Amino acid sequence: GSCRHRCCPGRNNACWAPGTRRALCYCDSYCQRTGDCCHDYHATCRRAAVGCAVGPWGPWSGCSSPCGVGSRARSRQVTVPPRLGGEPCPDLKQRRGCLGEHPTCGTAR
């Protein structure tokens, strides 16, 4: 089977070609995970693929709770979006727990 004119991003079961021994081979980027790519997938499809690129993490936000358990968050931006079946973007947001320790916490009733 050949991927010529059949390259598809993501998982696309309609993006196949007849392979050897009556088995189908695929020309979508997911075929790399399942191991059923057509013989020319890398030469034909991956050559033009562009993987996602992201910028640095921003600063952590302040704690969402001034007193007690809360959370902090940070994010980053996509600088180059994925194209033509390139690697997808990693997580763009992170969260972690925190404990608010505002000076008035101990005196509040």
pLDDT one-digit tens code per residue, 20-71: 777 889 988 888 888 899 888 888 886 666 778 999 999 999 999 988 899 9
The verdict on residue 86 lying in a domain is: no
CATH number at residue 95: 2.20.100.10
Q: Which long-range contacts (CB under 8 A, 24 or more apart) does 71-78 make?
A: 71/95, 71/96, 71/97, 71/98, 72/96, 72/97, 72/98, 78/52, 78/53, 78/54
| Lowest-pLDDT range of 34-48, 66-80, 88-102 | 34-48
Residue 8 in any domain: the answer is yes
Kindly state the helix (H) or strand (E) to which residue 34 belongs, with its residue range: helix 31-34
Full residue range of the structural domain in which residue 103 is found: 55-80+91-108
Q: How confident is the model at residue 55, as a pLDDT?
A: 95
DSSP 8-class letter at 29: T
Q: How confident is the model at residue 103 (pLDDT cuts 50, 70, 90)?
A: confident
Q: CB of 70 within 8 A of CB of 101?
A: no
